[in-house]
Structure 1
Amino acid sequence: MMREMSSTFGRSPGGYFWAIAEPVGIIVMLAIGFSLVVRAPALGNNFILFYATGYLPYSLFATLARVIMHGLGYSRPLLAYPRVSWIEALFARLFLHSLTNFAVSFIVLGAILMLEDTRIKLDFMPILNGYAMLVLTGFALGMMNCFLMGLFPVWENIWTIVNRPLFLASGIFFLFDDLPKAAQSILWFNPILHAIGEVRRGFYATYDPAYISPTYVYGLALALLAFALLLLKRHYRWILEE
């Protein structure tokens, strides 16, 4: 984890400052842009809070999926030491980037609640549950991507293409409840949409989405993670050698 911290946040001036500044800049631009188009956000009366409760959770998922996907290649020199196992290197990335994103979310959302008149009454259980869904899903998908990219390097380009529409389809800019039935029947299978809805339920007391299924999200993520672990355990040496 120390190696990961120094290489990820120690190379650029400012270090951890950019981990906070980047999402803040994106959230402010989203809030300003959409406030020029619509009168009010889909929930509440504050544009910044609405988009922050969508973008920050999604950023946690996307970061984990990306860093875990590159985990074996990044840690190849470290894995030359016999006492360091491949799973330890991947878990180190999981812990560090999860804690970093939790801290960023706490700072940014806390600042919004302090500085803006949001009149929000927090319910921490749905917020923590939503973030737990995102951590598990991001880790599971990152592990599977790690295996696929090790066997097929072109998978990195394919995932980049797939990830762009996923950003638009994960409920950052809209509510699932406001979509047409045809769109709901397709997007319901996106686990990120469930997790972001669960996080928003903890911020908005009047929001009670019926579509959220933690059983589906956790079941899908655990099944994918178990399958990815089996594949990586069998093929990680070949991936490192290649």
Structure 2
Amino acid sequence: MAALPPPQTPALPPADAGRRRFATLRTVLALMLREMSTRYGRTPGGYLWSIIEPLGAILVLSLGFSLLIRTPSLGSSFLLFYASGYLAFDMYQTISNMVARAIFFSRPLLLYPAVTWIDAVLARFLLNSLTSVVISVLLFSGILTVIDHRGTLDLMPILEAMGLAMLLGLGVGTVNCAIAGLFPIWEVAWSIITRPLFLASAILYLYEDLPQVAREILWFNPLVHITGLMRSGFYSTYGATYASPVYVLGISLVLLAFGQILLGRYHRDILNS
């Protein structure tokens, strides 16, 4: 007698699938609003500090280097040169750090069946991405107005650099969220390992100004490609031919996939630790 085929799981009706997607969207929005009120609503100044912090860093860099050298490596404005490198790096760093602590931040809510680790990661990624984009637009607009920039902006590489910075931050943050949840010491170790990253991401200089040996090593740092793309959008004479968006995209997607696998397998262990 022929064996009966295994029963198949019935597909969700379109109405149930739509309700599930709406419930996920509502959960993500609720988590975003919770973080906005917790992180910014209880601090004097709120979102103002998110603008003052990168602005202060750019001003310090501009003032310090203007006392040492006559002109920046590109153009004549120290403000624009360092802003075009720093803001892309800051966007990556902010998103990766916030996503890395998504489960820890939302741990009490993750005990409810309606809230999943994907909701927590997605909420932190979206909120901090939108915040970083708004801050970048405000600061770039203010700097371009102050220096009376008359060059032609190329929005495509600027948007590409921002998108890659956000995706890389999501990938690195997801992996760190899983590893730090399993091994808490990893958070401290990662901060020590990545401390030289600011100096190795072509923020204070141009990649082309480095010796050949340094260029061959730093090419593998995806942030070097992102800062190059960002600057090529503000300076029409700068091509950043070394920058490879495909390389950054590949690194980001591999890290994101690896982080999702780890969280999917170990998120319950992380919550119960």
> 1:17 aligned to 37, 44, 48, which one?
48
- Distance apart, 1:210 and its partner CA: 1.3
Is 1:184 aligned with 2:215? yes
Q: Give the conservation status (yes or no) of the 8 Å contact 1:122–1:204.
A: yes
Give the secondary structure class of the aligned counterpart of 2:194.
Answer: helix
5 Å matches for 1:167-206? 167-206=198-237
> 2:86 aligned to 55, 60, 83, which one?
55
> 2:188 aligned to 157, 173, 182, which one?
157
- Distance apart, 1:167 and its partner CA: 1.1
Cα distance per residue 1:141-187 (max 9 Å; x no partner): 00011111011111111111122101111111011111000000100
Q: Give the conservation status (yes or no) of the 8 Å contact 1:70–1:146.
A: yes
Q: Which residue of 1 aligns with 2:136?
A: 105
Cα distance per residue 1:168-221 (max 9 Å; x no partner): 111110111110000001000000110111011000000001111111110111
5 Å matches for 1:24-43? 24-43=55-74
Alignment partners' CA distance in 1, 2:73 and 2:150: 16
Q: Give the conservation status (yes or no) of the 8 Å contact 1:45–1:118.
A: no
Alignment partners' CA distance in 1, 2:85 and 2:150: 18
Q: Which runs of 4+ in 1 moved over 3 A?
A: none
Q: Which residue of 1 aligns with 2:33?
A: 2
Cα distance per residue 1:81-124 (max 9 Å; x no partner): 21111101110000000000100000000011111133221100
Give the secondary structure class of the aligned counterpart of 1:96.
Answer: helix
Q: Give the conservation status (yes or no) of the 8 Å contact 1:136–1:221.
A: yes
Give the secondary structure class of the aligned counterpart of 1:68.
Answer: helix
Alignment partners' CA distance in 2, 1:73 and 1:95: 17
Which structure 1 residue ranges, 5 or more long, are not aligned?
none
Alignment partners' CA distance in 2, 1:23 and 1:150: 29
Q: Which residue of 1 aligns with 2:177?
A: 146
Give the secondary structure class of the aligned counterpart of 1:198.
Answer: helix
Alignment partners' CA distance in 1, 2:197 and 2:80: 21
Amino acid at match of 1:72: I
Alignment partners' CA distance in 1, 2:150 and 2:200: 28
Cα distance per residue 1:16-38 (max 9 Å; x no partner): 01011111111111100000011
5 Å matches for 1:106-145? 106-145=137-176
Q: Which residue of 2 aligns with 1:90?
A: 121
Structure with max Cα Rg = 2
Instruction: Tell me the number of residue pairs that the alignment of Structure 1 and Structure 2 aligns.
Output: 242
Alignment partners' CA distance in 2, 1:19 and 1:10: 12
Alignment partners' CA distance in 2, 1:144 and 1:89: 14
Percent identity of paired positions between Structure 1 and Structure 2: 50
TM-score, structure 1 normalization: 0.98
> 2:253 aligned to 212, 222, 234, which one?
222
Cα distance per residue 1:44-67 (max 9 Å; x no partner): 100001011111111110001101
- Distance apart, 1:239 and its partner CA: 0.5
TM-score, structure 2 normalization: 0.87
Alignment partners' CA distance in 2, 1:165 and 1:11: 32
> 2:99 aligned to 68, 81, 88, which one?
68
